[in-house]
Every structure is written in structure tokens, then in C-alpha cells.
Structure 1
Amino acid sequence: MRFFKNKRIRNSLLLNLSLIGLVAAAVLFLLLNAAIDKSFTALEERELQGHIGRVADFQKTSLRSITARSKDWGIWDDSYYYAQDFNSAYEDSNINAESFQNALVDGMAIVRFSDGAARSFAFDREEGEELPELATDLRAIVTKPDFVEKVRKQDDVQSFITFQGQLYTIASVQLRKSDGSGTPPGFLTFIQKIDSSKTNQALQVSTTIELGSSIKDTVVAKSANAIEVAAPFKGQDGKTVASIALHLKRPLTEAAKELLFITFGGVFFLIVGLLVVLSRRVKTLVLDPVERLHKHVERIRESGELKALTAPAPANEFGALQGEFNNMTTELQQLRAQLESQSFTLGKSQSAVGLMHNIRNCLSPVRVILESLDQNGDDPLPAQAPRALEELSAPALDQPRREKLISFLSAAHEHVGAQSAMQRQQIREAARNLMNALNAIDAAAEGERDTRFDERCDLAGLLSHSGNIARYAEDIDVMVDVMCDGHIAATGNRVLLSQVIENLVTNALESIRETGREDGLIMLSATQDNISGLCSISVTDNGTGFAPAMAAQLFERGFSTRTSKSGGLGLHWCANTVRAMDGELTLKSNGNGSGARATIRLPLWQDEAIQNQSAA
């Protein structure tokens, strides 16, 4: 009977473990499929957008290149005078296959504005032979009245065009002398052929040029194993004259499927192995000891004495032990649910307090600026200005008096102008602080999972703007000194780093207020170390300071050295935020009354670090 019951428990356990394994495998397959499909789809989309972007860059580069070559020939004394008389000397020395090969163009035309006369030339750059038919077609296009009128109104015009079943870039520039002077007597036009071999080489994918296409925008068509992308080439009138088709394969899709099955297969067999081992270990480490443990618990309950476990307990007592364990588990679950509810409520409260703390730092300068504008916004010209204007209009006013009045009114006008400029600067600063407040709210709404810590953070601007919190402080005159060693950029989150620095400046400002003085000094500085790849941001004040032994304690939640206000969240939040950006925040002071220095160390922006190392 005992053997039967033991065997029955083991079978139930094996069945349960097998069911759990199958459910876990199914869930794992679904999760892996969702994660891998999402990741590889994002990678494929990023690669697709890269191809589309390279097509646009290729078009822009082609137009800029042909325009630059047109200007090389068009802004030239020889071309300028050639348009006036079409002399043969110019054609003998410049119009040949070698010149066209050097200029990387296939056709050229020069048109005179006065009478519409034109000369056109075309060469096969590979064979070195003239192409009279292409030259004739080119001349027919560039001598059209609407084409001539458009070039007459603009210094240069460029677009795409088709000739004889081929796609070309075409650029026209007004003819001028080599120094850029002179009235344009006409214009010069260059064309350059674009074929599949050129686009294949430039885009590094298989492409075809389709003439007569009517698509207006880029079109993407996806199939199971390939992606077809078609992008238009626009003519001078903005209409599509041709399109380029990119034939892309989808290796990432196949790789995603292979990765899914390989990963799932490996994990599935790992689960099977773990279940086999677990079933054996559970029997040895759980079932047998539980029998002994239950009997031992009964003896302790009956005798009230703690004794060593000596004899094994009957196997059929596992049910009673499970009931007792379940009761205990239920109580623990209730306690845990209460704790999680309280932790969730506390977390929401702390997040709200942190957000309000950052918003208060952003809005404090705005309030001071608005109060200043309210007090000084109606400051008119001096009271004597109207009388001075009236006196100045008198015909009999002597010259010395007139000059004195003009000087007075000029000074008054300059004063009003300077005051207006200062008010505009204050309004811009208030707008920037309001934007920082909005960014703080947006960052809180996005949540930590959406926060990026790989952004470029230009420290000169961040330090300058953060210093304005102290410059516009209320009831205290603080001098702010900002020093940034060159163009330093850190890697992190620009909005969060700005909030951290503003928090440190606010703490420095409050520390100065605690001294009871009406003035103070805050220094913000940034340096970089190319060897270590780190930059340092320091905020130094001449406030109350603190005992060196308290430095580590200042980062604890709720701790504050201030007695006049509640606090303690700012530095705790700052330290956690800097740590999330792979940085470090330290505080240093030589004691009470000696001021303090907060130092942030962050990784340098990667590109900046590489450039500085190369320069070194």
C-alpha cells in the first residue's frame, strides 16, 4: 500500500511537470516568434529605409555633381565670350572627347539669350565618337522658349531628362566671367547619362532604370523572398520622367525563421533535460524529506520540544502537509499583495514628487522673468523726451542746443532698444525653461523603457542654460561663471542630463541662501579626458557646505541638510539618473561653511572621442 501511494505521487508529479514543460515550450515558442519577428522586421525596415535614403542621396549627388561641372565651364571667360560670337577657337581647344571624359559629361550646349542661337555637342565617352543625333536632341530641348526663360530667371537649373531611350541628368547655368562678373549673354548646359551599371555601383544592389514611369512617390512592394522598391526621377516640370527599381532580397526573413527554430529546438531539449533531472531530484530532495518532516512536526506539536528528525514519515501524510503549507502560502500571498499595493502606491507618489521637483526647477526662472517683465515692461522714454522733441522742432533753436537734444534723444532711444533686447532674451529663456518642463513631463509619460541614453549632449549649451536658474533667482544676487573646455559632448539623455544639472544648480542656490547672504557664486565647468574617454561636469558653490563624512548619506532618499525646507529627493534622483547613463555623481566639501562641489562623470560622445584621439 505504501509503495502504491509513493508511486502514485511520483506519477502525478511527473505528469504535472510534463504538462508544465509543454505549456512552457508553447509559450516560449510564441514569445520567441513574436520577439524575433519584431526585431528582424525592424532591422529589415531599417535596411529598407537605408536603401530608399541612398536612392535619394544618389539623385541629389548626381544633380549637385552635374551642376558643379556646369559651373566650372559656365563661369569662365572663354565660355562667356564664346556665347557672344561662337568662335571656332573655343571649339577646337575645348570641344572634344577628352574634355568630355575629363568633365564626366556626355553632352553640352551653349545658348545665347539675345537671339536664341545655340551650339550643342555630344560624345560617346567610351568610344570617343561624336553623337550628332544626341546633340541635336539636346539643342532642341534647351532652345525651347520656356526652358530659356527659366534659366534666364535663375542662376542654375537642374533636373532629370530622357534622350533616345536613356536617362540623363541635366544642369544649366548662366554664363559669367571667371571672376563672377558680367551680364550673362546666355547659358551653358551639361548632360550626364545614368544607366543601370552606374546605379548598381552607387547603390550596391541590383537596379534597373524604367523609362516612361508615371509613379509620383517611392513605391515598395514586398513578396515572400524579395522586396521591390521603385523611386521616381523628376523632370524640370516636376513630373516623373523615369524611375529606378531596386531588387532586394530578404535574407533577414529566412534568418529569423532559422534562428527561431534553432533557438526553440535548443531550449525545448534543454527543458526536457531539466524536467528529467528535476523529477529525479524532487523525489530525492522533496518527497522523502517531506514525509519525515511532517512526522517530525507532529511530534513537535504534541511534545512541544524540538527534537532531531530520526525516522521517515509515512508517504500518505504529504496531503496534510500540503494543506498546512497552502494555508501558510495563502497568508504570505496576502501579505505580499498588501506589500506590493503599498509599494506601487509609494512608487507613484515618489515618481510624482520627482516630476514636480524637476518642473519646479524649470518654472522658477519663468516666474522671476515674468515678474521682472511685469515691473519693467511699461518703462517709457524719459519724461523729458516729448519736451525735447518739441524743442528740437523749433526753427530758431541754436546748434549747440540742438546737438545736445539730439544726443539726449539718441541715448534715450538706445536705452529703450537695450531694454527691449534684454526683455526679448528673457522671454526666450522663459520659453526654453517652459520647453524643459514639457520635456520633463513627456519623459515621465514615456517611461523608463522608452528612454534613450545614447544621445549626444552638448555640454556648453546645457551649462549655459542651467546657469540661468541661478541668474534669475529670487531675492538673491548670484554670479554664475560657466567654463567649458572647447566643444565637449557627452553620451546620455539630453533632457535628463539637463534636469540633473538644473537640480544641482538649484541645490547650490539653496545652499547659498542657507548662509543668509544676499549674494553668492556658482561655477559650472566641463572638461574632457580623451585617454579615459570621460568628461567631467562640475557645479561649485560658496554655500553652507557639509561635513565630508556626510557625502555618501546625501544620496539617500529623503535625506537633506536643509532645515528650512523639505527635500532629499533631488540628489537621490540625480544619482540614479546619472548611473542609468553609465556615469557617476560625487559630492565633495571641506566642511560646513566652505561650499561644495558636485561632479558628474559621463562617457564622451563616441564620434567626439574618436576625433579627439585622432587629433592627438
Structure 2
Amino acid sequence: MRIVTKINLTLVAAVVLAAGSNFATMQATVLPIFYDLEEAASQRNQGRAEEAIASIESQVAQAAWLYASFDGIAAAARAGASASTAHAPKEDLLREMGIDHVALLDGDGRILFDHDLGEAGNAHLLSGASLPAAHPLRASQPGGVRSGLMSVGGALVAVGTAPVETSGPAAAGIGTVLLARSIDVSALSAMTKVKFRLEPASGAGTRPAFLRLPDAIEARKTLAGVDGQPVAELVTVTTRRNVGAGQTAIGWASGLMLVSMLVVLACLSVAIRLIAVRRIERMRAHLSGVAETGSLGPMTEDRGADELSDTIVSFNAMARQLAELRSELRQRDYRHGAADQAAGLLHNLRNAVSPIAAIAWALEARDKANWQATLTKVLAELERGDLDPARAAKLDGLLILCAREALKAGAGRQADLRTLQAMIGHVEEILREQDHLSQTDRQPEAVDVAEAVAQAVRRVAHRPGLVFDIRVFEAAEVLGYRVVFDQILDNLLVNAAQAIEATPRGTGRIAVEAVPGLHDGLAAVEIRVIDDGDGIAAGDVAGLFANGFSTRRERSGGLGLHWCANAVNAMGGSLSAQSSGPGEGATLRLVLPATNAQQRIAA
């Protein structure tokens, strides 16, 4: 991703984050004000509904006081039970005043009449024949004119009571007038412009007093009757408009802020591109050219007099220093490479020449065998010629034995000479390979693993006390350089032999196994050289293939495995070591790519 894209994305992210933060802040600080406004409106509406109901109660109470002052009502109260009629006095007037029920009690609480002034005319305000003295509707209760709420036939009514008024000494306690008016919710809602409803008081207190719905707010209040018990629940419904309007305003404000910030961002992006990005792109193009060509040419300096200009000046100074260092490093690398190559060549030649010296010592030992001295003495006696027949026959037998030993020694000498010839040829191959390497690029070839292992074992088999166990799967072939592969095997087997010789017993077993495997997802051959020698300490395994590292403190070197690791890596393989610790032996794993034919077989 280009830097200008990163800068623009960063700026866009900052703008979006700022806009989101501003939106969240307004939601957290401004929107609660609109919620409070809605709650206040709900409370006002509830108060208006309560005031409307209270107004009805007051009107009914005033009507009761007025009705109680009529002379006909006083006469009916005095008449007692004989006053019970099918119609109450002045019913038409009561209907004009909106009264739905009228009842009259005498001084003892007996119900003289209880009439429903509605069309049905079958509902009663009171139940039973009388009211007890403690009933709140009795005028004998303190307070005179009173009002309250009652439930009549499942409907809520406003009740007003007043003592019957008359003149004379018997005026007090002669009776009580009860008037009632149904609460017309629709009419009150239309009058107050407040939506509300009345619900039964059976669930009072079990539902929340304030309920916020998606489109409205419901406020509940329990209404108490004349007896102080819940008689109904007043539920006011206030449409939610403030929060929606607030959210819309916040959205518009945040959107306008985002648009303005994006405009500022666009201007800032153009300014950044003119001031920095174009110059950075020129620097990137120059560095890309350096990466492609390797030429450390200077960068064209500008006159910006800022950090980018200073960077260009510093780069040019660094390029000059790097050019000088490159020249010096090339000379050092050439010298070091030549030294490493020579050291590796000498190490491999030493491994190849060591068996030759051993065979030469064996040939010299054969020339000093006892049978040669015996043959010399026998020939000297036979040359004298004055031997008796018995002595001559004995000397003839010795002569025959010496001849047999001579023939046997000659055969051994021929075998040693053939082995010596093969080893000298191996040295010549190493030298030819080195000469070929110095002149041309090597091409990988198919190497027969079984044959290479067998030859490497023969070159090490002269060491005493070694037992070899070779297990190579059929037609095992690797793709590599045959002579280099032979040298790698020689190094691994020589190291295994030295590990065994370093043990107190001085003898041991070397196993060479070749099994199919995988390397980088492709078919490969894994060759394991396993010995039961003195093993490798855990702390030495990691540095085993480092240049100059050796577990043989008494010897100088440490070149063999380092050279092997580099050679294996050059052939596209890997070399690793594993050991359980000192005295537990070691396993060297050599993995090389299989030939194309084996790749097809594996596929």
C-alpha cells in the first residue's frame, strides 16, 4: 500500500473517529435533554388529566350541595321510607347538570331512593338497604360537602355528597344527597387534548409507573376511591416527538460536521501530496532503481530546506560511503572465500589421503613379515649343497610354506594396490572437481546413493573396531554433484568413526540408512548416519555446523561439517544433527532432492 493511501486512510479514519466521537458525545449530552422534555410533557399531560377528573368531582360536589338545598329534598328526607318514589325530584335539572345517578339517605343511613338517570336506568349507585354510620358517603362524617370516585357497574363515576339543608331546629342530620357522574374519557381527552384511559385497579402497583415505548410514553397513577382504596388506574399516553426531533437534529449536525471535515481533509490531502508525497515518490523511484540495478547513484537534491531535503542529503552521503564499503567488502569476500575454499579442499584431501597412508603402512608391514626371514635362511642353507637328505626334505617343506605365504602376501598386496589406486583416483576426482568448479557452473546429476555409500564405507573400513550396517532402499537416487556428495559422505563417516574411537571401548557400530522422504513439499531421499560414539552435548548441537566449531577440543579444524552444510545447501538439501547427550551416540540427517524419475514415482 502506498504511503499516500496510508496517509489518506489515516486522515479518513481520524475524521470518521472524530465524527463518531462527536455524535456519541451529542447522544450522551444533548439527547437526554430531549428525554427530559418528553418526561416533563408526560407529567404535564398526567397532571391535566388528573385536573380534569378533579374538576368533574368538584362539579358533582357543587351539584350535590345545590340539590340538597331544594325544599323537596328536605321534605323527602323527613318523610323517610314513604318518600321512596320512582323518580327523584328535579331529574330534568340533574340531567342538564350532567348527573347520571341520584340517591337520598335519611339521617339513619337508610337509602330512600337510588335512581339511574341514564337511558337504561337499571344501574344503582349503592348496594343494600342502608349505609353504616362509618361509611365515607354518610354526611355525618366530618367535612360536609364531599367528592370522590367510585366504580359503578365497572365504570368509574365521580360522586358528590352533601347534607340535606333546611331551616329549623331539626335541620341537622335529616339526610344526605348523593350525586354521581360517569367519567367520559373521550370527552375529557378531547377537552384536555390529552390521550388517556382508565384501567381496572386490579393490577395497580404491579406495572411500572413510567413506561417508555418506541412511539409513546405511558404514565400510570392509581386513583383512590371515596373509601381510600384503589378504584382505577389513570394511564396517560404522550406521543414521543422530542427525542425523534433531537435525533434528527443530531444526525443533521453530525452529517454537516462530517461533510465539512471531509472537505478540510480533501484540502489537507492535496497539500500533503504537494509538500511531501510527490517528493517521497521520487525518492522511492530512485531507491527502486538502486534495488534493480545495484547502482548507488546520488539522488537529485531539491531546495525544500526541510526534513525530506535533509534526508536526501544524508542518503547521498550514505551512498558514497556504501560504495566505498562495497569495494572493500568485495576484496575481503574474495580473500575470505578463497581461504574457505582452500581450507575445505585441504580438509577433504586430508580425509581422502588418510586411507592412502594407512594402506602404505600396511604394505610396509607385509614386507617385514616373518616368512621372508625364514625364506632367506632356507635359501642360504640350500645353496651350501652339503645337506643330508632329511634336512633337505625339511627345508623343501619350509620353502613350500614360504612360497604359499609369498603368494598370499602378493594377493593381499594386489588388493591393497587396487584400493590404493581407487583412493588416488578419488583424490584426482576431488582436484578435477575443484578445477571444474573454478572454470564453469556445475550442473546437477543423478547420484546412485547405494553405490556412493558403499564406496564411502570402503574408504573408512580400514579403521579398526568398526562394524557397518548399510540399509539403502532400492534405486535410491539424489540430484546433486557426485564428487561433492562423496566428500560429504566421507566427512560424515569419518566423524562417526572418530566419535566411536573417542569412547573408552574404542569400538562401535555405524549404521547408514537411506529412506524416502520429503523436502520443501517435494520427493527427497533422507540419508542417516547413526553411530554409538561419544555423542554431542545439548549445548553443542546448535553450533555444530558453524565455521571453526569442533567437539574435538584436542584437534584443530571444525571445517568438515561447516563445509558439508554449505555444500548440501548449495544442492538444495539440508543437514541436521541429533543426539541424546554425551555417551549416547549421534544421528546426522542428510536430505537431498530426489531425481526427476523418483519425483514422478512419488507423485
Task: Decide: shared fold, TM above 0.5.
Answer: no
TM class, shorter-chain normalised? 0.3 to 0.5
**What is the TM-score with the length of structure 2 in the denominator?**
0.43
Please state which structure has a larger fraction of its residues in helix: 1
Flag the structure with larger Rg.
2
